[in-house]
Amino acid sequence: MRLHILGICGTFMGGVAALARELGETVEGSDANVYPPMSTQLEALGIGLMQGYKAEHLQPAPDLVVVGNAMVRGNPAVEYMLNEQLRYVSGPQWLGERLLVEREVLAVAGTHGKTTTTSLLAHLLESAGLAPGFLVGGVPGNFGISARLGQGKHFVIEADEYDSAFFDKRSKFVHYRPRIAILNNLEYDHADIFPDVAAIQRQFHHLVRTVPGNGRLIVNAHDAYLAEVLAMGCWTPVETFGIGKGDWQATLIAADGSAFAVHYKGESIGEIRWSLLGDHSVMNALAALAAATAAGADPRALLPAFGNFESVKRRMEVVGDIDGVRVYDDFAHHPTAIATTLAGLRAKVGKARILVALEPRSNSMRLGAHADGLAPSLADADAVVFLHRPELPWDAKRVTDALHGRAITAPTVDDLLASLKSQAHAGDHVVFMSNGGFENAPRRFVAALSDSSR
């Protein structure tokens, strides 16, 4: 079968393309932005790529068009597809019907931590010899690829609550039909498609409805919104996890979250020591350990695997250490994630200065849905430079004024980098936080520091 994927260079759709190719399909696709590294990864798999969305890209007609959720009505390829009555399907539906229906699916849902937890869960199952398939919204360090079929029966998938396509407004995860589902956390996000928390909770409950009675739900014991989701109806055994709370419990040994003890229903499992930081990382670890155990792995035997887990790129990734200034690249999209990440770093570095460069990049950030929560989330930062592009529809002074002299705005990335360079000195930790490209700011900053040190 010849597939044409619209939006093929997105992380999710690129993973779908790789899996389809591995299944033996002939795969091609188009995107507005065909450039490395995704383009080179796909071309290496023998996948043909086309720049832009043109009607002629769908001529002759493919057997099936797989439509990414970035596609909208008015797009020339979409209009041609509809006018010519080509067969089409969303990426999540294709994945569910073509691949996941034959596998034992472990789905990782939540506002935060999906990519890291999915990568960790795949790593744990791999270390247990189960050879899982996976699809991750990033590149797991232990695998070096974002998707693979795997040789075993298990398939681990990052289960996003965002909608599936312009013609299918259900959350992606409704298509996955997992036997084991992690509900990591739930907060208000995606202000462009969800009016309130209740709308997101309804989608999470749709996911709960699909998990069979002989499966397992792994649920954050601290999350009141998730408790309300389960109260809507639950037909699956539930195991909870938390720091000092739940069936799976962690007790911190190191305040920064790099070492902690694990207990299951009062019984000691052992200790985890690893390179990740923060309470949120501890929670991700508990969720992944509980899910791997539900899949049949021995939890005690899994503990050493945490020590060689390599996190996903752009999750507090150290990109340089120049003259005592350590620079991090972090994928931040929500105040809670910002707060927990900085709290973990603060616990590790003590009184050393933390400088934050923040780009409001997600749809919710740009719409101002999280504006009131940003200043409190930056409490552990000693200085903040906020990228306030002219097109931002709200005034960032709401954030900078609330930080009482610890924050300034910059209209461009060049101005932001110049400001940071003037402030940074030996012993500082500089964290770039954005869920977008940030114009390659972290690495440009490292290059600027290197040039100054010569």
From 158, 219, 215, 208, select the one nearest 186 (Cα to Cα).
219
Residue 114 labelled as part of a binding site: yes
> In this structure, what token pair is assigned to residue 170?
């259900």
From 284, 251, 315, select the one nearest 120 (Cα to Cα).
284
> In this structure, what token pair is assigned to residue 278?
């923060």
Cβ-count burial of 362 within 10 angstroms (0-12 exposed, 13-18 middle, 19+ buried)? buried
Cα(38)–Cα(45) distance, integer angstroms: 11
Cβ-count burial of 287 within 10 angstroms (0-12 exposed, 13-18 middle, 19+ buried)? buried
> What residues contact 56, with CB distance under 8 A and at least 6 apart?
none
Q: How far apart are the first and last CA of the chain?
A: 56
Handedness of CA 355, 360, 365, 366 (dihedral sign): positive
In b/e form, how buried is each residue of 76-91, taking b as 16+ CB within 10 angstroms? ebbebbeeeebebbbb
For the chain, what's the residue count? 454
Residue 40 labelled as part of a binding site: no
Residue 111 labelled as part of a binding site: yes
Distances (CA, A) of 437 to 240, 331, 359, 432, 433: 35, 10, 9, 11, 10
Pairing outcome for strands 133-135 and 147-148:
antiparallel
- Other C-beta atoms closer than 10 Å to the C-beta of 208 total 22
Residue 115 labelled as part of a binding site: yes
Cβ-count burial of 448 within 10 angstroms (0-12 exposed, 13-18 middle, 19+ buried)? middle
SS3 category, 340:
helix
Order of all β-strands in the sheet with 267-273: 147-148, 133-135, 154-158, 104-109, 180-183, 216-220, 238-243, 248-252, 259-264, 267-273
Which residues line the annotated binding site?
A: 110-116
Which segments are annotated as binding site for ATP? 110-116
